[in-house]
């Protein structure tokens, strides 16, 4: 399945390039917008949000199946190379992203929903 992604402004440009290189549709959120607007754009365009903002891992605020999907990257150190490695690792292993919150850590992946 070819996923379509919306990158939060806290995601490095190298991740954008990597996802494009792998054939995914990718776009960035407009700079400086709030979380509510970000999730609305993701819903309106049916894009899976990729962010480093842990607020998006709150299943009460963003209940599963009320959005196209959210991937929260909790990678430390937050350098482009480890972020890219863990993101690709998660994308290769998780068969269904839609409507779920996926939290990617250095050593595990948590799936909510």
Give the pLDDT confidence of 37-51 residue by residue, as tens digits: 999 999 999 999 999
What does the pLDDT average to over 81-97? 93
* pLDDT over 90 at 111, yes or no: yes
Side by side, which strands form the sheet with 25-28?
25-28, 4-7, 48-51, 70-74, 101-105, 109-112
Average pLDDT, the chain: 94
Mean pLDDT of 84-109: 94
How confident is the model over 7-13, as a mean pLDDT?
Answer: 96
Predicted TM-score (pTM) of the model is 0.95
Structure-block tokens of residue 104: 């990617």
SS3 call for 74: strand
State the pLDDT confidence band at 95, using cuts at 50, 70 and 90.
Answer: confident
Rounded to whole angstroms, how far apart are CA atoms 25 and 34? Answer: 23
Mean pLDDT within 59-86: 94
Question: Is 1's pLDDT higher than 80?
Answer: no
Strand 109-112 and strand 101-105: the pairing is antiparallel
Residue 2: predicted pLDDT: 79
């Amino acid at each position: 399945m070819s996923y379509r992604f919306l990158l939060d402004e806290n995601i490095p440009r190298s991740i954008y390039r990597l996802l494009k290189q792998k054939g995914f549709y990718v776009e960035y959120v407009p700079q400086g917008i709030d979380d509510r607007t970000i999730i609305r754009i993701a819903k309106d365009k049916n894009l899976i949000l990729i962010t480093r903002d842990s607020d998006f891992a709150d299943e009460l605020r963003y209940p599963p199946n009320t959005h196209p999907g959210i991937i929260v990257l909790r990678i430390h150190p937050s350098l482009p190379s480890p972020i890219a490695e863990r993101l690709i690792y998660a994308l290769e292993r998780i068969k269904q992203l839609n409507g779920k919150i996926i939290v990617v850590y250095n050593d595990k992946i948590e799936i909510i929903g």
